[in-house]
Structure 1
């Protein structure tokens, strides 16, 4: 792939397959697969947005690789991240989840996920979670040349975090919300030299 002028090889690595990726997605096969097939692609359904919001909250303070490796366990433990089912969890479910080695056993995050499921269900009385989150799509997306150019938050993520908290969501700070926006395609923070830049179809290359 032809690299844009000014993109250093230290930030974009050319793989054995001839495709350019950021360093974080260039070595670990699991992260590479996630980067190549899922990260930054549009997610517009309620369950999909709820799952990714939940995983981003659990990731706080941990590496994304840790969460990704436990993702099958999370999906099993939270019944496919079905908001209706998770919203009905009580103390016995919390105890079950705290004993599940397949997930991150953090009581505050588990309880926040249950509360967020209830908030997700409540959002249906208005526009719904997915529509709400996508309504904060900015007019422009970042065009990072190097990793240091990728922001950790934005005015839109600050505003969305505030709105989500107002509606009863927890663990939804501006940084976590911006990571969600990156993950589901609301913004495109693929480095300009990456083979995935512009692949979502939401933003031009």
Structure 2
């Protein structure tokens, strides 16, 4: 999605595209914040455009978090279709300033309030940990409850936005690991280190060398 830094993000190359149009590539600045709700909006608009040309859109790769927001109606992960809690949420004042907390304390708070979903997120996955705490804060119910309801309903065909065929490719670990190692080696040969140096210079210029790294905004959240 982000312009530039094609090697770091392992972006599909023109040769790999093989003449097939690919969409929603290179349309974001490297420091631009982009949420799952933004992706849902842009992807649905592009799908409608492709359908209008009587063509078949194919969603490839990416995280389930983003794909689920596009494929299913009223998905919890969508920022535009958040369910409303049946009971009043607790006062926001009972929560600390989440964005002022470091990753360790954020995850510890999530572990205390919603241990089920805390086990799903790595402590350094700040964006998802924050999201789960915000759901609890704003709805008065644990994120894990909403996720369980969404998963229980996701098998209902009427919740799918489209007549969808989902293909899942499974690879055994002993087959996958050598391929991943080879891919990283190839990325290094293509100039991975040079892109990393450029990204570091860009970040230092924009934020200052003494500022803490923020992996929840811009291209850093995609790496």
TM-score by length of 2: 0.32
TM-score by length of 1: 0.34
Q: Max radius of gyration: which structure?
A: 2
Q: Which has the higher contact order (CA 8 A, sep 6+)?
A: 1
